[in-house]
Amino acid sequence: MFVALKTRKCCVIGDPIAHSMSPAIWSAAFKELGMNDCAYTPMQVKKDELKKKMNEFRSADFVGVNVTVPHKVEVLKFLDEVDALAKKIGAVNTVKNEGGKLKGFNTDGFGALEALKQNGVQLNGKNVLLLGAGGAARAITFTLLQEEKIKLSILNDDERAFQLQKELNGFFDAGVQAGLLNEANLKLFVSRADILINATPVGMHPNEGKSIVPKKLLRKKLVVFDIVYNPLETLLLKDAREVGCKTVSGELMLVYQAVKAFELFFGKTPPAKKMHAVVLMELKKK
């Protein structure tokens, strides 16, 4: 007798959501692993619908939910438990259904860390300069300081750089430095950095012609990581490549945050290379 498999459901929620590449990435992983009983769908969820939707995700057929803007902070109100790192970051991008209880995680920082490692970048003891102090910057800085022994500096165009500095030093006693993102500070901090991470949206489509760091400040021994992934090569990365820097592109962070979420949901490692290939294919369509 033929018995239909019960579908194990996963989804990504946000508003808007049509642009998300997560369904293509996860569906490719399911196909590669022969997980024919799994499905991944995008769901547009308005702010006033979030509580109701999160309660629906407690049902037995839902494995987990990925969360994107603008719900990464608001979703915390509707969870039963939050992972210690996600609690420090103050945002969640991954929610696992554990027998009807919802547990939140943040895999964005892991994605960034793994993107660097996959490119052979050694972090231990290095001077890391991070530009930005928004949600992505918070996830990256908390994760880097939890996992690696680095000397961290943060520049941002408002007071959030100093707020983030205070939080990080409170949790990790790490001697984090901070400053306003201006020409003088860029010149000073870039000259001392081993690794530069752009965690701002500068250079993102449709503003491909902009870079947050003047080309003249870049030098050959610097590692430059731009978390922007559309376009695949931002002006910052193009300038860095021409100067002779080692460059790391942003789509790898997207891939590896999904890899970590997949491991949390299913307890197995998905095919990262296949997922990366799908991301590259989707981005080339844009």
Distances in Å between the alpha carbon of 15 and those of 12, 46, 88, 95, 246?
Answer: 10, 6, 24, 17, 35
The pair phi, psi for residue 247, each rounded to 5°, is: -120, 145
Q: How far apart are CA 255 and CA 118, in angstroms?
A: 11
Q: Which one of 72, 88, 96, 260 is the catalytic residue?
A: 72
Is 72 in the active site?
yes
Residue 28's nearest CA partner among 18, 17, 20, 40 is 40
Contact 208, 224 (CB under 8 A): no
Which helix or strand (DSSP H or E) is residue 192 part of?
helix 183-192
Q: Which residues contact 82 (CB under 8 A, 6 or more apart)?
A: 76, 92, 103, 104
* Catalytic machinery residues: 72
